[in-house]
Chain A
Amino acid sequence: MSESEAIDTTYTAFAADPAYVQANAAFVARLPLAPVARILDLCGGSGAVGQLMLAGATGASLQAIDLDPVQIGLAAANYADLGYEVRRNEQPFQQPPGPARTVTLTVGSATELPFPRATFDCVMIANAIHLIADKHGLISQIASVLEPGGIFAFSSGFYAGCWPPVTQQVYYEWLKEATGWIARYSADQVAAGKPAVRRVRGKSLLAPVAYQNRWLTPDEWRELLVGHGFEVLDMHERAVMFDEHSLASVGAYSGLAEAQLSGYPVELASQALANTAALALASADVTAVQHNWIEVCAVRRAV
Protein backbone atom coordinates (compact mmCIF):
# COMPACT_ATOMS: atom_id res chain seq x y z
CA MET A 1 0.00 0.00 0.00
CA SER A 2 3.04 2.23 0.01
CA GLU A 3 2.48 3.56 -3.47
CA SER A 4 -0.70 5.21 -4.68
CA GLU A 5 -2.22 3.39 -7.64
CA ALA A 6 -3.72 5.29 -10.56
CA ILE A 7 -7.50 5.20 -10.52
CA ASP A 8 -10.28 6.56 -12.74
CA THR A 9 -12.00 9.15 -10.57
CA THR A 10 -14.51 10.31 -13.18
CA TYR A 11 -18.12 9.14 -13.21
CA THR A 12 -17.41 7.05 -16.30
CA ALA A 13 -16.87 3.71 -14.60
CA PHE A 14 -20.03 3.89 -12.49
CA ALA A 15 -22.01 5.22 -15.45
CA ALA A 16 -21.21 1.92 -17.17
CA ASP A 17 -21.96 -0.26 -14.15
CA PRO A 18 -24.60 -2.83 -15.16
CA ALA A 19 -26.88 -2.16 -12.19
CA TYR A 20 -26.72 1.60 -12.75
CA VAL A 21 -27.22 1.30 -16.51
CA GLN A 22 -30.24 -0.93 -15.99
CA ALA A 23 -31.73 1.44 -13.42
CA ASN A 24 -31.31 4.45 -15.70
CA ALA A 25 -32.79 2.62 -18.67
CA ALA A 26 -35.78 1.57 -16.61
CA PHE A 27 -36.27 5.16 -15.39
CA VAL A 28 -36.21 6.58 -18.91
CA ALA A 29 -38.46 3.81 -20.24
CA ARG A 30 -41.27 5.05 -17.98
CA LEU A 31 -41.20 8.57 -19.46
CA PRO A 32 -43.59 9.75 -22.21
CA LEU A 33 -40.79 10.91 -24.50
CA ALA A 34 -42.18 10.31 -27.99
CA PRO A 35 -43.51 13.87 -28.56
CA VAL A 36 -40.61 15.61 -26.83
CA ALA A 37 -38.57 18.00 -29.02
CA ARG A 38 -36.38 20.10 -26.70
CA ILE A 39 -34.72 18.49 -23.68
CA LEU A 40 -32.82 20.28 -20.92
CA ASP A 41 -30.55 17.86 -19.03
CA LEU A 42 -29.48 19.40 -15.72
CA CYS A 43 -26.32 18.11 -14.05
CA GLY A 44 -25.90 16.07 -17.22
CA GLY A 45 -22.53 14.53 -16.31
CA SER A 46 -20.96 12.43 -19.03
CA GLY A 47 -24.30 12.09 -20.81
CA ALA A 48 -25.18 8.56 -19.76
CA VAL A 49 -28.86 9.34 -19.15
CA GLY A 50 -29.12 12.12 -21.74
CA GLN A 51 -28.24 9.54 -24.39
CA LEU A 52 -31.09 7.35 -23.21
CA MET A 53 -33.44 10.33 -23.36
CA LEU A 54 -32.44 11.09 -26.96
CA ALA A 55 -32.89 7.44 -27.88
CA GLY A 56 -36.46 7.67 -26.57
CA ALA A 57 -37.19 11.09 -28.06
CA THR A 58 -35.88 10.50 -31.55
CA GLY A 59 -36.81 13.93 -32.90
CA ALA A 60 -35.37 15.92 -30.02
CA SER A 61 -32.39 18.13 -29.37
CA LEU A 62 -30.73 18.21 -25.98
CA GLN A 63 -29.11 20.97 -23.97
CA ALA A 64 -26.98 19.65 -21.12
CA ILE A 65 -25.49 21.62 -18.24
CA ASP A 66 -22.95 20.47 -15.69
CA LEU A 67 -20.74 22.32 -13.23
CA ASP A 68 -17.78 20.07 -13.96
CA PRO A 69 -15.88 20.84 -17.18
CA VAL A 70 -14.34 17.36 -17.08
CA GLN A 71 -17.80 15.81 -17.29
CA ILE A 72 -18.76 18.17 -20.12
CA GLY A 73 -15.65 17.07 -22.02
CA LEU A 74 -16.53 13.42 -21.53
CA ALA A 75 -20.10 14.10 -22.62
CA ALA A 76 -18.90 15.83 -25.80
CA ALA A 77 -16.86 12.78 -26.76
CA ASN A 78 -19.62 10.34 -25.86
CA TYR A 79 -22.34 12.14 -27.81
CA ALA A 80 -20.04 12.61 -30.81
CA ASP A 81 -19.26 8.87 -30.78
CA LEU A 82 -22.98 8.22 -31.03
CA GLY A 83 -23.30 10.44 -34.09
CA TYR A 84 -24.88 13.50 -32.55
CA GLU A 85 -23.86 17.00 -33.63
CA VAL A 86 -22.20 18.45 -30.56
CA ARG A 87 -21.97 22.16 -29.78
CA ARG A 88 -19.99 23.61 -26.90
CA ASN A 89 -21.21 26.84 -25.34
CA GLU A 90 -18.28 28.79 -24.00
CA GLN A 91 -20.57 31.61 -22.96
CA PRO A 92 -23.43 30.01 -21.06
CA PHE A 93 -26.83 29.79 -22.67
CA GLN A 94 -26.28 32.04 -25.66
CA GLN A 95 -27.53 29.47 -28.10
CA PRO A 96 -31.16 28.43 -28.36
CA PRO A 97 -31.95 24.69 -28.51
CA GLY A 98 -30.56 23.26 -31.73
CA PRO A 99 -32.35 21.21 -34.36
CA ALA A 100 -33.13 17.52 -33.84
CA ARG A 101 -30.17 15.31 -32.91
CA THR A 102 -27.99 18.20 -31.80
CA VAL A 103 -26.50 18.30 -28.35
CA THR A 104 -25.44 21.59 -26.77
CA LEU A 105 -23.12 21.33 -23.79
CA THR A 106 -22.46 24.07 -21.26
CA VAL A 107 -20.47 24.34 -18.07
CA GLY A 108 -22.92 25.90 -15.68
CA SER A 109 -25.17 25.62 -12.67
CA ALA A 110 -28.57 23.97 -12.61
CA THR A 111 -29.74 26.65 -10.23
CA GLU A 112 -29.06 29.56 -12.60
CA LEU A 113 -31.16 29.06 -15.72
CA PRO A 114 -31.37 32.29 -17.73
CA PHE A 115 -33.41 30.73 -20.53
CA PRO A 116 -36.52 32.52 -21.77
CA ARG A 117 -39.80 31.18 -20.43
CA ALA A 118 -41.10 27.98 -22.01
CA THR A 119 -37.87 27.20 -23.87
CA PHE A 120 -38.09 23.44 -23.32
CA ASP A 121 -40.75 20.77 -23.35
CA CYS A 122 -38.76 18.39 -21.14
CA VAL A 123 -36.39 18.99 -18.20
CA MET A 124 -34.55 16.09 -16.61
CA ILE A 125 -32.14 15.56 -13.72
CA ALA A 126 -30.70 12.09 -13.23
CA ASN A 127 -29.40 11.33 -9.76
CA ALA A 128 -28.33 14.81 -8.79
CA ILE A 129 -31.36 16.69 -7.47
CA HIS A 130 -30.48 15.70 -3.91
CA LEU A 131 -27.29 17.79 -4.23
CA ILE A 132 -29.23 21.01 -4.69
CA ALA A 133 -30.07 22.72 -1.41
CA ASP A 134 -32.65 25.23 -2.63
CA LYS A 135 -35.22 22.86 -4.06
CA HIS A 136 -37.98 25.47 -4.13
CA GLY A 137 -35.77 27.75 -6.21
CA LEU A 138 -34.80 24.92 -8.52
CA ILE A 139 -38.35 23.72 -9.14
CA SER A 140 -39.51 27.29 -9.66
CA GLN A 141 -36.86 27.83 -12.34
CA ILE A 142 -37.67 24.53 -14.02
CA ALA A 143 -41.34 25.48 -14.12
CA SER A 144 -40.36 28.74 -15.76
CA VAL A 145 -38.28 27.26 -18.59
CA LEU A 146 -40.83 24.49 -19.27
CA GLU A 147 -43.70 25.18 -21.63
CA PRO A 148 -47.20 24.34 -20.32
CA GLY A 149 -47.72 20.62 -20.79
CA GLY A 150 -43.97 19.99 -20.70
CA ILE A 151 -42.59 17.27 -18.46
CA PHE A 152 -40.10 17.38 -15.63
CA ALA A 153 -38.48 14.05 -14.76
CA PHE A 154 -35.92 13.15 -12.17
CA SER A 155 -34.40 10.16 -10.44
CA SER A 156 -32.50 10.16 -7.18
CA GLY A 157 -30.84 7.57 -5.01
CA PHE A 158 -30.87 9.90 -1.99
CA TYR A 159 -34.26 10.46 -0.39
CA ALA A 160 -35.89 9.48 2.87
CA GLY A 161 -36.16 5.72 2.68
CA CYS A 162 -33.46 5.09 0.08
CA TRP A 163 -31.43 2.77 2.27
CA PRO A 164 -32.85 -0.30 4.03
CA PRO A 165 -31.24 -1.01 7.44
CA VAL A 166 -28.63 -3.47 6.13
CA THR A 167 -27.59 -0.93 3.50
CA GLN A 168 -27.19 1.74 6.16
CA GLN A 169 -24.98 -0.65 8.10
CA VAL A 170 -22.84 -1.53 5.08
CA TYR A 171 -22.41 2.07 4.01
CA TYR A 172 -21.39 3.13 7.50
CA GLU A 173 -18.89 0.30 7.79
CA TRP A 174 -17.60 1.28 4.37
CA LEU A 175 -16.65 4.75 5.61
CA LYS A 176 -14.97 3.26 8.66
CA GLU A 177 -13.00 0.81 6.54
CA ALA A 178 -12.02 3.59 4.14
CA THR A 179 -10.70 5.85 6.89
CA GLY A 180 -8.78 2.86 8.26
CA TRP A 181 -7.35 2.24 4.79
CA ILE A 182 -6.10 5.84 4.63
CA ALA A 183 -4.62 5.57 8.12
CA ARG A 184 -2.68 2.46 7.11
CA TYR A 185 -1.58 4.11 3.88
CA SER A 186 -0.41 7.14 5.84
CA ALA A 187 1.53 4.94 8.27
CA ASP A 188 3.23 3.21 5.35
CA GLN A 189 4.18 6.57 3.91
CA VAL A 190 5.71 7.68 7.20
CA ALA A 191 7.58 4.38 7.51
CA ALA A 192 9.02 5.04 4.07
CA GLY A 193 10.23 8.48 5.15
CA LYS A 194 7.46 10.35 3.34
CA PRO A 195 4.96 12.85 4.77
CA ALA A 196 1.85 11.55 6.49
CA VAL A 197 -1.50 11.98 4.78
CA ARG A 198 -2.96 15.24 5.96
CA ARG A 199 -6.66 15.96 6.15
CA VAL A 200 -7.81 19.56 5.81
CA ARG A 201 -11.17 20.15 7.44
CA GLY A 202 -13.79 22.56 6.19
CA LYS A 203 -12.58 22.90 2.61
CA SER A 204 -14.95 20.56 0.80
CA LEU A 205 -17.77 22.17 -1.11
CA LEU A 206 -19.52 18.87 -1.69
CA ALA A 207 -19.62 17.49 1.85
CA PRO A 208 -22.15 20.02 3.16
CA VAL A 209 -24.55 19.59 0.26
CA ALA A 210 -24.34 15.82 -0.05
CA TYR A 211 -25.17 14.81 3.48
CA GLN A 212 -26.45 17.90 5.21
CA ASN A 213 -29.21 18.54 2.72
CA ARG A 214 -32.44 17.21 4.11
CA TRP A 215 -33.61 14.22 2.11
CA LEU A 216 -37.27 14.50 1.13
CA THR A 217 -39.86 11.77 1.44
CA PRO A 218 -41.86 10.80 -1.65
CA ASP A 219 -44.84 12.70 -0.21
CA GLU A 220 -42.70 15.79 0.34
CA TRP A 221 -41.53 15.62 -3.28
CA ARG A 222 -45.12 15.40 -4.45
CA GLU A 223 -46.14 18.35 -2.30
CA LEU A 224 -43.23 20.44 -3.55
CA LEU A 225 -44.03 19.76 -7.20
CA VAL A 226 -47.74 20.42 -6.83
CA GLY A 227 -46.94 23.67 -5.04
CA HIS A 228 -45.02 24.84 -8.10
CA GLY A 229 -47.77 24.08 -10.59
CA PHE A 230 -46.93 20.51 -11.54
CA GLU A 231 -49.15 17.46 -11.71
CA VAL A 232 -47.32 14.29 -10.77
CA LEU A 233 -47.90 11.72 -13.50
CA ASP A 234 -45.73 8.98 -12.09
CA MET A 235 -43.81 8.38 -8.87
CA HIS A 236 -41.97 5.12 -8.58
CA GLU A 237 -39.49 3.59 -6.15
CA ARG A 238 -37.00 1.17 -7.67
CA ALA A 239 -34.83 -1.28 -5.74
CA VAL A 240 -31.35 -1.46 -7.29
CA MET A 241 -28.84 -4.05 -6.10
CA PHE A 242 -25.26 -2.80 -5.86
CA ASP A 243 -22.52 -5.43 -5.67
CA GLU A 244 -18.81 -5.02 -5.01
CA HIS A 245 -18.17 -3.83 -8.56
CA SER A 246 -20.92 -1.21 -8.31
CA LEU A 247 -19.68 0.09 -4.97
CA ALA A 248 -16.03 0.10 -6.04
CA SER A 249 -16.81 2.08 -9.19
CA VAL A 250 -19.03 4.65 -7.50
CA GLY A 251 -16.57 4.89 -4.59
CA ALA A 252 -13.80 5.77 -7.04
CA TYR A 253 -15.84 8.68 -8.37
CA SER A 254 -14.20 11.88 -7.12
CA GLY A 255 -17.50 13.62 -6.41
CA LEU A 256 -18.58 10.91 -3.99
CA ALA A 257 -15.11 10.51 -2.51
CA GLU A 258 -14.83 14.23 -1.81
CA ALA A 259 -18.23 14.31 -0.15
CA GLN A 260 -17.77 11.14 1.88
CA LEU A 261 -14.15 11.56 2.93
CA SER A 262 -14.07 15.33 2.94
CA GLY A 263 -10.71 16.95 3.50
CA TYR A 264 -8.53 14.05 2.38
CA PRO A 265 -6.70 14.24 -0.95
CA VAL A 266 -9.50 13.32 -3.33
CA GLU A 267 -7.65 10.71 -5.36
CA LEU A 268 -6.58 8.94 -2.18
CA ALA A 269 -10.16 9.07 -0.90
CA SER A 270 -11.30 7.52 -4.18
CA GLN A 271 -8.80 4.71 -3.80
CA ALA A 272 -9.79 4.14 -0.19
CA LEU A 273 -13.47 3.75 -1.04
CA ALA A 274 -12.79 1.60 -4.10
CA ASN A 275 -10.44 -0.68 -2.19
CA THR A 276 -12.73 -1.21 0.81
CA ALA A 277 -16.06 -1.92 -0.92
CA ALA A 278 -15.60 -5.66 -0.47
CA LEU A 279 -14.79 -5.25 3.23
CA ALA A 280 -17.95 -3.21 3.73
CA LEU A 281 -20.13 -5.87 2.15
CA ALA A 282 -18.36 -8.59 4.15
CA SER A 283 -19.08 -6.72 7.38
CA ALA A 284 -22.77 -7.52 6.92
CA ASP A 285 -22.07 -10.91 5.31
CA VAL A 286 -23.75 -9.88 2.06
CA THR A 287 -22.59 -9.74 -1.55
CA ALA A 288 -24.82 -6.81 -2.56
CA VAL A 289 -26.90 -4.09 -0.97
CA GLN A 290 -30.30 -2.77 -1.92
CA HIS A 291 -30.25 0.92 -2.78
CA ASN A 292 -33.67 2.38 -3.55
CA TRP A 293 -34.19 5.06 -6.18
CA ILE A 294 -37.10 7.40 -6.54
CA GLU A 295 -38.26 8.20 -10.08
CA VAL A 296 -40.68 11.03 -10.71
CA CYS A 297 -42.37 12.38 -13.82
CA ALA A 298 -44.51 15.50 -13.55
CA VAL A 299 -46.23 17.71 -16.10
CA ARG A 300 -46.34 21.48 -15.91
CA ARG A 301 -49.96 22.55 -15.77
CA ALA A 302 -51.18 25.38 -17.94
CA VAL A 303 -51.39 28.57 -15.88
Chain B
Amino acid sequence: MSTETITPKFTREVIERDLLALLTDMTSDWDVTYTGEIKPETRLMADLSFESIDVVQLVVAIEAHFKRRHLKFEQLMMVDGRYVQELEARQIVDFLDQQLAA
Protein backbone atom coordinates (compact mmCIF):
# COMPACT_ATOMS: atom_id res chain seq x y z
CA MET B 1 0.00 0.00 0.00
CA SER B 2 1.42 3.31 -0.99
CA THR B 3 0.89 6.63 0.77
CA GLU B 4 0.14 9.68 -1.31
CA THR B 5 1.65 12.94 -0.16
CA ILE B 6 -0.33 16.01 -1.11
CA THR B 7 1.93 18.92 -1.80
CA PRO B 8 0.40 22.39 -1.43
CA LYS B 9 0.12 24.17 -4.75
CA PHE B 10 1.88 27.19 -3.34
CA THR B 11 4.65 26.55 -0.87
CA ARG B 12 5.80 29.37 1.37
CA GLU B 13 8.93 29.68 -0.75
CA VAL B 14 6.86 30.07 -3.92
CA ILE B 15 4.57 32.60 -2.26
CA GLU B 16 7.50 34.68 -1.09
CA ARG B 17 9.27 34.54 -4.44
CA ASP B 18 6.13 35.49 -6.36
CA LEU B 19 5.09 38.25 -3.96
CA LEU B 20 8.51 39.90 -4.06
CA ALA B 21 8.40 39.69 -7.85
CA LEU B 22 4.96 41.31 -7.88
CA LEU B 23 6.17 44.08 -5.60
CA THR B 24 9.27 44.65 -7.69
CA ASP B 25 7.24 44.82 -10.88
CA MET B 26 4.62 47.08 -9.35
CA THR B 27 7.08 49.61 -7.96
CA SER B 28 9.67 49.52 -10.73
CA ASP B 29 8.71 52.90 -12.18
CA TRP B 30 7.79 54.61 -8.92
CA ASP B 31 9.66 57.72 -7.94
CA VAL B 32 10.76 56.61 -4.47
CA THR B 33 14.06 56.98 -2.68
CA TYR B 34 14.27 53.28 -1.74
CA THR B 35 16.67 51.68 -4.18
CA GLY B 36 17.53 48.35 -2.60
CA GLU B 37 16.25 44.92 -3.51
CA ILE B 38 12.77 44.21 -2.19
CA LYS B 39 13.06 41.66 0.59
CA PRO B 40 10.68 40.10 3.09
CA GLU B 41 11.52 42.82 5.62
CA THR B 42 10.85 45.66 3.18
CA ARG B 43 8.21 48.00 4.57
CA LEU B 44 5.46 48.94 2.14
CA MET B 45 4.67 52.37 3.55
CA ALA B 46 8.02 53.60 4.89
CA ASP B 47 10.28 52.08 2.23
CA LEU B 48 8.10 51.92 -0.87
CA SER B 49 5.77 54.88 -0.15
CA PHE B 50 2.63 52.79 -0.54
CA GLU B 51 -0.64 54.68 -0.34
CA SER B 52 -3.78 52.85 0.76
CA ILE B 53 -4.95 52.39 -2.82
CA ASP B 54 -1.56 50.91 -3.73
CA VAL B 55 -2.24 48.18 -1.21
CA VAL B 56 -5.59 47.52 -2.85
CA GLN B 57 -3.95 47.29 -6.25
CA LEU B 58 -1.36 44.91 -4.84
CA VAL B 59 -4.20 42.79 -3.48
CA VAL B 60 -5.86 42.71 -6.90
CA ALA B 61 -2.56 41.66 -8.47
CA ILE B 62 -2.04 38.97 -5.83
CA GLU B 63 -5.54 37.56 -6.30
CA ALA B 64 -5.06 37.47 -10.07
CA HIS B 65 -1.65 35.83 -9.77
CA PHE B 66 -2.73 33.14 -7.31
CA LYS B 67 -6.14 32.79 -8.98
CA ARG B 68 -8.06 33.31 -5.76
CA ARG B 69 -10.75 35.90 -5.15
CA HIS B 70 -12.04 37.40 -1.93
CA LEU B 71 -8.97 36.65 0.13
CA LYS B 72 -9.65 38.29 3.46
CA PHE B 73 -7.02 40.99 3.23
CA GLU B 74 -9.06 43.23 5.49
CA GLN B 75 -7.97 40.94 8.31
CA LEU B 76 -4.37 41.83 7.49
CA MET B 77 -5.00 45.54 7.00
CA MET B 78 -7.10 46.13 10.09
CA VAL B 79 -5.92 45.19 13.55
CA ASP B 80 -7.78 46.01 16.75
CA GLY B 81 -10.44 47.78 14.72
CA ARG B 82 -8.21 50.24 12.89
CA TYR B 83 -5.96 50.43 9.87
CA VAL B 84 -2.41 49.23 10.37
CA GLN B 85 0.17 51.96 9.91
CA GLU B 86 2.86 49.75 8.41
CA LEU B 87 3.13 46.41 6.67
CA GLU B 88 6.20 44.35 5.81
CA ALA B 89 6.29 42.06 2.77
CA ARG B 90 6.89 39.20 5.21
CA GLN B 91 3.50 39.77 6.82
CA ILE B 92 1.80 39.40 3.45
CA VAL B 93 3.71 36.17 2.85
CA ASP B 94 2.54 34.87 6.25
CA PHE B 95 -1.02 35.87 5.43
CA LEU B 96 -0.99 34.25 1.99
CA ASP B 97 0.65 31.11 3.35
CA GLN B 98 -2.29 30.79 5.71
CA GLN B 99 -5.03 31.88 3.29
CA LEU B 100 -3.91 29.82 0.31
CA ALA B 101 -3.76 26.71 2.44
CA ALA B 102 -7.35 27.21 3.56
Complex formed: what's the CA distance from A207 to B70 in Å? 24
* A214:B85 contact, CB within 8 angstroms: yes
- Segment of B3-11, B14-22, B75-83, B93-101 engaged in the interface with chain A: B75-83
- Which residues of B are found within 8 Å of A214, using beta-carbon distances? 82, 85
Cβ < 8 Å to A, chain B residues 21-66: 30-31, 45, 49, 51-54, 56-57, 59-60
Complex formed: what's the CA distance from A180 to B56 in Å? 11
Given A160-B81, A201-B51, A207-B51, verify A283-B56 contact (CB < 8 Å). no
Interface size class of A (residues with CB under 8 A): 20 to 34
- Which residues of A are found within 8 Å of B83, using beta-carbon distances? 211-212, 215
Chain B residue nearest in CB terms to A259: B52
- Segment of A54-62, A107-115, A168-176 engaged in the interface with chain B: A168-176
* A163:B78 contact, CB within 8 angstroms: yes
Complex formed: what's the CA distance from A260 to B52 in Å? 7
- The answer, yes or no, to whether A119 is at the interface (CB within 8 Å) is no
- Which residues of A are found within 8 Å of B75, using beta-carbon distances? 165, 168
- The answer, yes or no, to whether A51 is at the interface (CB within 8 Å) is no
* B77:A172 contact, CB within 8 angstroms: yes
Complex formed: what's the CA distance from A152 to B43 in Å? 39
Interface size class of B (residues with CB under 8 A): 20 to 34
Distance to closest chain A CB from B60 (angstroms): 6
- The answer, yes or no, to whether A179 is at the interface (CB within 8 Å) is yes
* A202:B49 contact, CB within 8 angstroms: yes
Q: B81's contact among A171, A215, A261, A263, by CB below 8 Å, is which?
A: A215
Given A204-B51, A261-B53, verify A161-B81 contact (CB < 8 Å). yes
- Which residues of B are found within 8 Å of A296, using beta-carbon distances? none
* B74:A171 contact, CB within 8 angstroms: yes
Complex formed: what's the CA distance from A168 to B49 in Å? 23
- The answer, yes or no, to whether B68 is at the interface (CB within 8 Å) is no
Distance to closest chain A CB from B82 (angstroms): 4
Q: B52's contact among A160, A168, A207, A283, by CB below 8 Å, is which?
A: A207
Known: A165-B74, A207-B51, A215-B83. 4 other contacts (CB 8 A): A176-B56, A212-B85, A215-B82, A260-B52
Binding site for A on B (CB under 8 A): 30-31, 45, 49, 51-54, 56-57, 59-60, 70, 72-75, 77-78, 80-83, 85
In the assembled complex, 25 residue pairs joining A and B whose CB atoms fall closer than 8 Å, in A order, are A159-B81, A160-B82, A161-B81, A162-B81, A163-B81, A165-B74, A165-B75, A168-B78, A171-B74, A172-B77, A173-B70, A175-B56, A176-B59, A179-B53, A201-B49, A210-B52, A211-B52, A212-B52, A212-B85, A214-B85, A215-B82, A259-B52, A261-B53, A262-B52, A262-B53
The 7 closest A-B pairs by CB, nearest first: A215-B82, A161-B81, A168-B74, A160-B81, A172-B74, A160-B82, A175-B56
